[in-house]
């Protein structure tokens, strides 16, 4: 079969300035397949405190030296105005924006009772609000063009992991953003998906660490960022068949993360005791249905109440 390429496409990859990170691998793959790439990175590194700074200019230079075409951008994703500047950089240079890869992030692992308010704000600003602002900046251009691909980076931490309460909350918020933008973009040729990566990156050592050096070495060898990028590339390609999906990739393995609804129980005179006495049926996975259909973003489990409602007129303030 023919090789997938991105000739004529313009892509933005945020958080792509690290020497060994996912964004750099994503940017190189897109460029190697013909995309023109905006390599975005604020430069503060994986912990957000400039102790391991990143360099968007260096990665852009790597791509150009390899025969690709890239420019560097150092605006922050965390504010609306600077997120617009990232998109504007693509428009100013190439006149279009086809692909947005939201990869920027900061690593934070800390107990909910000890993490500082500032670190909570920073985590939410970069991960959740960063994805919101960059998507919002790119959205009208994609809608006008009748085409777009957005890949938002999430994490297995969104399903629960010790020390990642704020990080996981931000990532689940990004998944909610992904699902709903997929619905809004369905009739406009814009597909939006979420990617949960498993890779050894330059964020290692700033959050979760391996106590056994042999295990750490094995992880680095088996889970390079380059084995996540093919999943990103497919989701960013015009041939991508899914939208609103959550895909996990790492170490050469790719799988879907699905959220389902059980058949449960239904009683018109429901009581607390009914729930207590029927927990097995309520949580029985047999016959479970997917909440969202990745091949039809508007396809979902019928909701008798929601299906009767329509949006009220919006009153901006």
Please state whether beta strands 246-250 and 36-40 pair in parallel, antiparallel, or not at all (unpaired). Answer: unpaired
Q: What is the pLDDT of residues 284-310, one digit of tens each?
A: 999 899 888 888 877 666 666 666 766
d(CA 200, CA 226): 10
Segment 101-124 mean pLDDT: 92
Point out the residues that are catalytic.
167
Q: How many CB atoms lie within 10 A of CB 300?
A: 18
- Share the mean pLDDT of the chain: 90
pLDDT of residue 19: 72
- pLDDT of 2 > 80? The answer is yes
pLDDT of residue 51: 45
Please give the CATH architecture assigned to the domain spanning 10-256: 3-Layer(aba) Sandwich (3.40)
d(CA 245, CA 242): 6
Q: Report the candidate in 12, 154, 148 with the shortest Cα–Cα distance to residue 86.
A: 12
pLDDT of residue 173: 96
> What are all long-range contacts of 174-177, with beta carbons under 8 Å and residues at least 24 apart?
174/102, 174/127, 174/128, 174/131, 175/246, 177/128, 177/131, 177/132, 177/135, 177/152
Domains of the chain, residue spans: 10-256, 260-308
d(CA 159, CA 113): 19
Single pTM value for the model: 0.90
Residue where the block lists tokens 């793959």? 29
- What is the residue-wise DSSP string for 53-103? ---HHHHHHHHHHTT-EEEEE---SSSHHHHHHHHHHHHHHHS---EEEE-
Taking each helix axis from N to C end, the angle separating 56-65 and 22-32, rounded to the nearest 10 degrees, works out to 30
Beta strands (DSSP E) in the chain are: 10-13, 36-40, 69-73, 99-102, 148-153, 190-198, 246-250, 253-256, 260-261, 289-290, 292-293, 296-300
């Amino acid at each position: 079969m023919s090789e997938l390429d991105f000739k004529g496409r313009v892509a933005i990859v945020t958080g792509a300035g690290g020497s060994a990170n996912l964004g750099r691998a994503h940017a190189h793959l897109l460029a190697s397949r013909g995309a023109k790439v905006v390599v975005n990175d604020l430069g503060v590194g994986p912990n957000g405190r400039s102790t391991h700074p990143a360099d968007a200019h260096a990665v852009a230079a790597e791509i150009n030296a390899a025969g690709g075409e890239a420019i560097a951008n150092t605006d922050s994703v965390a504010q609306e105005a600077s997120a617009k500047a990232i998109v504007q950089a693509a428009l100013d240079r190439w006149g279009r924006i086809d692909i947005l890869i939201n990869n920027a992030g900061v690593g934070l692992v800390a107990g909910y009772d000890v993490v500082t308010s500032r670190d909570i704000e920073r985590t939410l600003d970069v991960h959740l609000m960063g994805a919101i602002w960059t998507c919002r900046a790119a959205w009208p251009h994609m809608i006008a063009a009748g085409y777009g691909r957005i890949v938002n980076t999430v994490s297995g931490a969104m399903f629960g992991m010790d020390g990642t309460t704020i990080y996981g909350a931000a990532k689940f918020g990004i998944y909610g953003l992904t699902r709903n933008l997929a619905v809004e973009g369905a009739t406009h040729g814009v597909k939006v998906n979420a990617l949960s990566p498993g890779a050894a990156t330059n964020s290692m050592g700033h959050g979760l660490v391996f106590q056994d050096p042999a295990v750490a070495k094995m992880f680095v060898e088996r889970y390079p960022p380059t084995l996540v990028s093919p999943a990103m590339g497919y989701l960013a390609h015009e041939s991508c068949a899914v939208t609103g999906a959550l895909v996990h990739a790492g170490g050469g393995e790719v799988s879907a993360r699905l959220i389902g609804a059980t058949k449960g129980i239904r009683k018109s005179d429901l009581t607390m005791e009914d729930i207590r006495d029927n927990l097995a049926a309520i949580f029985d996975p047999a016959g479970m249905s997917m909440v969202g259909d990745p091949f039809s973003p508007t396809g979902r489990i019928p909701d008798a109440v929601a299906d009767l409602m329509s949006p009220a007129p919006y009153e901006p303030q």
